[in-house]
Structures are given as structure tokens and as C-alpha cells.
Amino acid sequence: MRETPLSNCERQFLLKAIEEKKRLDGRQTYDYRNIKITFGTDYGCCVVDVGKTRVLAQVSCELVAPKDNRPTEGIMFINLELSPMASPAFESGRQSELHVTLNRLLERCLRNSKCLDTESLCVVSGEKVWKIRIDVHVLNHDGNIMDAASIAAITALCHFRRPDVGIQGEEVTIYTPEERDLIPLSIYHMPVSVSFSFFQQGTFLLVDPCEREERVMDGLLVIAMNKHREICSIQSSGGIMLLKEQVLRCNKIASVKVCEITELINKALENDRKVKKEGGKFGFAESMAKERITALKSEIAPVEMIDIEEKAEDIICRTGAPCDTVPSPVVRAPGTGQVGEGLQNAWGLDEVEEEEEEEDDIEQGGPEKQPESETITSKKGDVVVISDSEEEEVVILHQGVEVKDFREEMSSGQKQATSASKKKKKKRKLAH
Amino acid sequence: MPWKNAHVFSPSTFYVDRVCYTKILPQETPGNCIMRVPLDNKADKVICGPGLRRNGDEVLVCKSGILRHKPPNLYWIDSIQKRYVPAKGESVIGIVTVKSGDVFKVDVGGSEQASLSYLAFEGATKRNRPNVQVGDLVYAQFTIANKDMEPELVCIDSCGRANGMGVFGADGLLFKVSLGLVRRLLAPQSDIVKDLEKTFPFEMVVGMNGRVWVRARTAQQTLIVANLLESCENMTTQQRQALFRRVADRVT
């Protein structure tokens, strides 16, 4: 399945709208879309929605031998998957450039920032350590996968609980959840990434670009930060030249956004903890909308309509009254019609007249034939299938009676269909 | 009630044991989903539209949706769908992707790209080629569209006139809606279009493949119209009219 190409008019419109500081869904330049965090029944499973972009993260652990050069540290493995489910632009199998970029960014954001205490994952030094594996799957791509993925990954890490381990001499016992409670991981801080897209040669920026804005942007700046205003990673792509002030401004915006997002994550974790303790229902079945027709409805986006009034009044004063009368179509023969100006077809005049005569013949011949065909078909009980198979016989206009029985009915049906569609087009033109 | 032998299906009629306009789900047992049609004397054949299939003496439902009836003899299932399947005679908005030699390849949202010959424009000859670039929007009609062949588009009607088709679209916004909404917009006395006309003047091109192009005086108004259309997908008539009235009040 191929991706829908971006047409020229969409691109021009988007750039023009962005110049006027208008976004497609009515957001302001520094606004994020609605972020929703839901957890599954297992520990370490969470789904994050940023607008329509949806990302699922799952954390799992297993005991393995540590790396040779780091015998006392656990291992953290991060993997992001882009499947064709997310967007027709993603192909399964081959690793595209976007896939590699996102994986690298996520790794730098989580691993290099040392948000997870790997020393605490050591069980037996040099022999057994915990390997924490974070799998992030993109379920729907509507722009800004990076932010959604980073939120999902860190939330899943905070939500995850690993089994408790007991060491007696040489023996290592892993306790089941029934024997001993699961232990949360030791997380130092929560890095969250914020994406900025640049337009007009780096002069104008938007936070949290949606998919169409991503397609027309000049460049992208991704800043990963935690709520203590420590930068974990910063990356600029697209080859645009950024000024120092712009980068500093983006830092300020990012710190504000990261605080808000971290608060949201903590609230979601707290809610989930409370529900689990009280024994209430939790998991995706409760938090996902039920299978009603409005299950996939997105919330109302507030559209800014200031300044509309003056402009609209101008327009209304200037436009003339719409014309009420409608030129009626000229009907040349029953079942056909002609719409639009220039009703006289100047070229091939003789051919057109001939055709009309033939059509007239058929139409007159038609009703007479009907009683005959009625009796024939009621005996045979055949079905007239109006199919679009290309294997129909050619309609012969000047033939004897028997051949034409069913073909006539079909051809008159088709003529009615085409004239109906012409009338539809005419009505559409009027609506403009 | 006297049953007339259906002209199309005979010797027996086909049965329905529920009223029209209720939802019918496919894959019910044949005993449940056969339709009985009260035929008045005028109709001597019954036409099964999209969503209905004849199977021997029975008519089976193959899509879930609402059963609609247009007197005297037309029945079909009105289903909600977003994926477009090309059908002959339908007018769609396509995006030109490849320009190679004599033929343009156009993306219409189906499983295959359709081909559009450069001679299928009004006034086009071998010397006088139409001015179509990659990425342009075209409004065209299908001449060939079945499951066995690559679909073909033309931008002229059978008389050789453009009739509104061709390249268009500088300055407007293209967006996608479901096929059901598109059919509602194209209905002859569409409520949605009438309500929308009262807000402010704009131009609109509606393709049967779910693509809609809108242009208003300013970018802001274009965005408003686009968002309004996308949102009236699942609204009842009252909600929609209330929303449009709110927008119109803010405007005037």
C-alpha cells in the first residue's frame, strides 16, 4: 500500500497558513495536542496518545550474563518498531532512515542520560544481571512519533515492577509475585523529548508538528530534557541554520512543556497505583472507549475566530447576489441530457445527428419490445446483472428484435445512470 | 398481500422478516436475512444495489449497514466505509504522481494508481499537451474500473467537453472524509451544504473517493470550513445545525 502523495496545493496552503500563524487544527504555535496515557493490566505496559499518534511501550526483564567490561551493571535494551499498521509509508522488513533516526534518538535520550540505575540491576556480579528490555511499537502515525515514544518509554519504565531476588551463598532464588511483591525499578529522573519544527528558513517554529506539517517542514530540532532543566540530548536535523537565540528560546519552551508532561505522567501513574490498591478495575478494557460510533471521535479543537467579523463583513458587502435562475439542460433525446454552455457541438455535426436518430429509434423500439421481453423472461427467470465486467458484448444499434432484449434494458439503465450523474454534477456546480 | 412475481428473481419472491431502515449484519444465517419485498403493481423487477448479493433464490446481505429503499424497486445497503474502491462512472479527485510519456499516473486512494492519458483533456492533441505537473489535483471520471484491470481516468465526457473536470486547486485545502459523508454532500438537496452556505461563501469540490477540496476567501475561513466538514461526520442534524449557527453568529 503506497502512501498518499502530498499535492502541490496542500503544500502551498500549509506554508501560507503557517506564515499567517494558523495551524490546521487551530492550535497555537506552542500548543501540544491532547496527551492521553493509559496502562494495561500488566506492569510495564502503557499506551500514549498524542492527538491521533498512538504509541505502545512494553517493558520486560530477564536474567542474563553481564557485558565483560561492565560486570556489575545491568543491561538496558531499547527497540522502536515502525510497522505498516502505523502508516502506509512504513514498509516491514527494511529499516528506513526514519526508523534508524528514531531508535538512535530514543537510545540517547534514555541510555546516555542514565535515567535508570543499572547498578541496582546487578544480582551476582560478573554472572547474573537483569536485562531490561523496552519495546516501543508505533500504532498510528500522525506526526511527532519521537515525543510520544519518549513519553511512553519513560512511563512504562516507571510503571514496571521486576521480581524480587534472594541470594543464599551460591544459590539465587527468583521469587514469584505470589511469594514476594514485585519491586519497581530505580529511576533517577524522567527525560522527555520535545520536538520543534522549523519553517521559512528557520525563522518560524511550531511545537509538536502533525503529520502534514512534518511533510512540509524545513528542519526539526529535538530536545530531551527532564524537569530539573537538565538537557539529556539535543539534535537538529534537516540542515537548517539555527541562530543561538532560537536554540535558547527553544530550551525555555521545552523546559515549560517538560514540566507539564512530567506532571501528567506522575498523575497517571498515581491514578493507576490507587486503582490497583483499591482493587478496582484497571487496564485497557476500562480506559479505551467502548465500541460505539463515537469511539474514534476526537475532541473538539477550539478554532480561533477573532478578526473574522470584520473580514467577513467586507466580503459580504463586496460579493454580488448569487444568481437564482438556472439554465435548464437541453434534452436531445429521452434518457440523455446536455449540461453546460456551448450546447451546440460544432465539430462532427453530422455524426451527432445520426447518433440522435439512432437513439430515438431505440427508445421508440424499446417500449414496444417490453411486453415481448416480459413474457420471455418470466418463463426463463433470468437475472439481469448490471456488472462492470469488460467482457460484455458490444451493443449493436441497428439489429433485429431477439438480440436486443436484455441489452436494451441494460443500455437504457446505463443511460439513465449517466444522465443522473450529469445532473448531479450540474447541481454541484450551482452550489459554488 | 398479493405477491407479484419479481421480474428479476423467479419463480419465488425473496423474503424479509424485518422492516427496512434497520441495521442488517452480514453472516447471519440465510434463514434470517432473506428479504421479503412487498411489490406494488408498478414494479416488475427489483434491483439489488451495493451490499446485496443474489444467491440462487435468495438475496444475501454482504455488508453491514442500513437497508434503504428507493421506490419503486431499488434496494441497497448504506454502509460506513473509508476505503475507496474505484467504480466506473464515478468522479474522483486524484493527485498526479508520475508523468511518463503519454500517460499520467494518478493516485485516487485505491489499491492501484489509475492512469490518465494526456489526450483525455479538452482540446488536447499530440502537439498541444495539457499543462499538468506532478503533484497537481485533477477531477476526473473513471472509464474503466474493475478488479481485473488497472483503472483508467478521463477528464472529458463523451462529447469531448471538460464539463468541470481537469486540473484545479491552486490555493485551496484538500482533506479526506469518509465515503458516507461524501455521498451525503453529493445528494441533490443536501442539508449539510445548504447549512454551510449560510456561514460564508466558499468553493468546494467533492470527489467520490472521500477527498474534498475547499477554498474560501482567506486561509482562516478555509480551515474553518474544512474542520466543520470533518466534524459533521457523526453529528445529528440538530447538533450540526447548532454548530453551524454558532459559527455563523461569530462571523456576522
Residue A429: per-residue pLDDT: 47
Q: Which of B47, B145, B173 sits opposite A10 (nearest CB)?
A: B173
Q: Which residue of B has its CA nearest to A420?
A: B188
Query: Looking at the domain assignment, is residue A77 inside a domain?
Result: yes
Query: Looking at the domain assignment, is residue A16 inside a domain?
Result: no
| Angle value at C-alpha B215, between B214 and B220, nearest 5 degrees | 105
Q: Is the dihedral of CA A350, A351, A352, A357 positive or negative?
A: positive
The whole-angstrom distance between residue A402's C-alpha and the CA centroid of its chain comes to 56
Q: How confident is the model at residue B150 (pLDDT cuts 50, 70, 90)?
A: very high
Residue B233 in grid coordinates: 461526520
Grid-cell match 460510533, residue found: A293
Residue A144: CATH number of its domain: 3.30.230.70
- What mean pLDDT is predicted for residues B235-252? 83
- Work out whether strand A161-162 and strand A183-184 pair parallel, antiparallel, or are unpaired: antiparallel
Query: Looking at the domain assignment, is residue A230 inside a domain?
Result: yes
A342 touches chain B (CB under 8 A): yes
Q: Are A29 and A205 in contact (CB under 8 A)?
A: yes
Give the integer Cα–Cα distance in Å for B209 and B87.
10
B9, burial (CB in 10 Å: exposed 0-12, middle 13-18, buried 19+): buried
Q: How confident is the model at residue B52 (pLDDT cuts 50, 70, 90)?
A: confident
Of the residues B4, B10, B208, the best mutation for testing chain A's interface (the one with the most A CB atoms within 10 Å of its CB) is B10
Q: Which residues of A touch B109 (CB under 8 A)?
A: 4
Residue A316: per-residue pLDDT: 66
Residue A242: per-residue pLDDT: 86
Q: Between chains, do B221 and A390 touch, taking CB under 8 Å as contact?
A: no
Query: Looking at the domain assignment, is residue A352 inside a domain?
Result: no
Query: Looking at the domain assignment, is residue A93 inside a domain?
Result: yes
- How many C-beta atoms surround the C-beta of residue A239 within 10 A? 7
Q: Which residues of A touch B159 (CB under 8 A)?
A: 338, 345
- Looking at residue A427, the DSSP 8-state letter turns out to be H
Residue A397 in grid coordinates: 444499434
A16 touches chain B (CB under 8 A): yes
Q: Which of B47, B136, B231 sits opposite A8 (nearest CB)?
A: B136
Of the residues A3, A7, A297, A324, the best mutation for testing chain B's interface (the one with the most B CB atoms within 10 Å of its CB) is A7
Give the integer Cα–Cα distance in Å for B52 and B58.
10
Q: Between chains, do B9 and A383 touch, taking CB under 8 Å as contact?
A: yes
Query: Looking at the domain assignment, is residue A33 inside a domain?
Result: yes
Question: How many structural domains are present in chain A?
Answer: 1
Q: What does the pLDDT look like over B194-227, one tens digit per residue?
A: 888 888 889 999 999 999 999 998 888 888 888 8
Grid-cell match 519504565, residue found: A157
Instruction: For residue A49, report the phi and psi dihedrals to the nearest 5 degrees.
Output: -110, 120
Contacts with A21 (C-beta within 8 Å, 6 or more apart), sequence order: A29
Contacts with A53 (C-beta within 8 Å, 6 or more apart), sequence order: A138, A140, A141, A142, A143, A144, A145, A148
Q: Are A110 and A153 in contact (CB under 8 A)?
A: yes
Q: Which residue of A has its CA nearest to B168?
A: A9
Q: Which residue of B has its CA nearest to A322?
A: B201
Is pLDDT of A121 > 80?
yes
CA torsion angle A278 A279 A282 A286 (round to 10): -100
- What mean pLDDT is predicted for residues A246-252? 92
Instruction: For residue B227, report the phi and psi dihedrals to the nearest 5 degrees.
Output: -65, -35
Residue A327: per-residue pLDDT: 53
A429 touches chain B (CB under 8 A): yes
Classified as helix, coil or strand, A172 is strand
A424 touches chain B (CB under 8 A): yes
Q: Between chains, do A12 and B224 touch, taking CB under 8 Å as contact?
A: no
A215 touches chain B (CB under 8 A): no
CB contacts < 8 A, A to B, total: 150
Give the integer Cα–Cα distance in Å for B139 and B142.
10
Please tell me the number of Cα atoms within 13 Å of B76 on its side-chain side: 9
Q: Name all domains of chain B by residue range, CATH numbers in brackets.
A: 13-78 (2.40.50), 90-168 (2.40.50.140), 173-249 (3.30.1370.10)
Distance from CA of A422 to the nearest CA of B (A): 9
Distance from CA of B228 to the nearest CA of A (A): 10
Q: What does the pLDDT look like over A200-233, one tens digit per residue?
A: 888 888 999 999 999 999 899 999 999 999 999 9
Q: What does the pLDDT look like over B167-193, one tens digit per residue?
A: 987 888 999 998 988 988 998 888 888
Q: How confident is the model at residue B51 (pLDDT cuts 50, 70, 90)?
A: confident
Query: Looking at the domain assignment, is residue A349 inside a domain?
Result: no
Q: Between chains, do A7 and B109 touch, taking CB under 8 Å as contact?
A: no
Residue A97 in grid coordinates: 532512515
Grid-cell match 522488513, residue found: A93
Give the integer Cα–Cα distance in Å for A62 and A64.
6
Query: Looking at the domain assignment, is residue A137 inside a domain?
Result: yes
Q: Which residue of B has its CA nearest to A293?
A: B234
A305 or A426, higher pLDDT? A305
- Single-letter residue type at A410: M
Q: Are B192 and B183 in contact (CB under 8 A)?
A: no
Residue A96: per-residue pLDDT: 84
- Quote the crossing angle between the two packed helices A308-318 and B219-231, to the nearest 10°: 100
Q: What does the pLDDT look like over A177-198, one tens digit per residue?
A: 888 889 999 999 999 999 999 9
What percent of chain B shows pLDDT beyond 70? 82
What is the DSSP code string of A238-302? SS----HHHHHHHHHHHHHHHHHHHHHHHHHHHHHHHHHHHT---SHHHHSPPSSTTTTPPPPPP
- What mean pLDDT is predicted for residues A26-39? 90
The whole-angstrom distance between residue B214's C-alpha and the CA centroid of its chain comes to 17
Report pTM: 0.71
Q: Which residues of A touch B169 (CB under 8 A)?
A: 7-9
Q: Which of A345, A378, A432 sits opposite B5 (nearest CB)?
A: A378
Pick the range with the lowest mean pLDDT from A77-86, A380-389, A413-422, B33-42: A413-422
Helix or strand holding residue A392 (H, E): none
A96 or A290, higher pLDDT? A96
The whole-angstrom distance between residue A348's C-alpha and the CA centroid of its chain comes to 51
- How many C-beta atoms surround the C-beta of residue B3 within 10 A? 12
| Angle value at C-alpha A356, between A355 and A361, nearest 5 degrees | 100
Residue A427: per-residue pLDDT: 46
Average pLDDT, chain A: 76
- How many C-beta atoms surround the C-beta of residue A65 within 10 A? 13
Residue A221 in grid coordinates: 530540532
The candidate with the shortest Cα–Cα distance to B5, out of B45, B50, B59, B58, is B45
Residue B171 in grid coordinates: 490555493
Q: Are B248 and B198 in contact (CB under 8 A)?
A: yes
- Quote the crossing angle between the two packed helices A349-380 and A401-431, to the nearest 10°: 120
The candidate with the shortest Cα–Cα distance to A264, out of A169, A147, A363, A419, is A147
Question: Domain range spanning residue A50?
Answer: 27-286
Q: Which residues of B touch A9 (CB under 8 A)?
A: 136-137, 169-174, 213
Of the residues B173, B183, B199, the best mutation for testing chain A's interface (the one with the most A CB atoms within 10 Å of its CB) is B173
Q: Are B213 and B93 in contact (CB under 8 A)?
A: yes
* Region of A365 on the Ramachandran plot (φ > 0 left; ψ -120 to 50 alpha; else beta): alpha
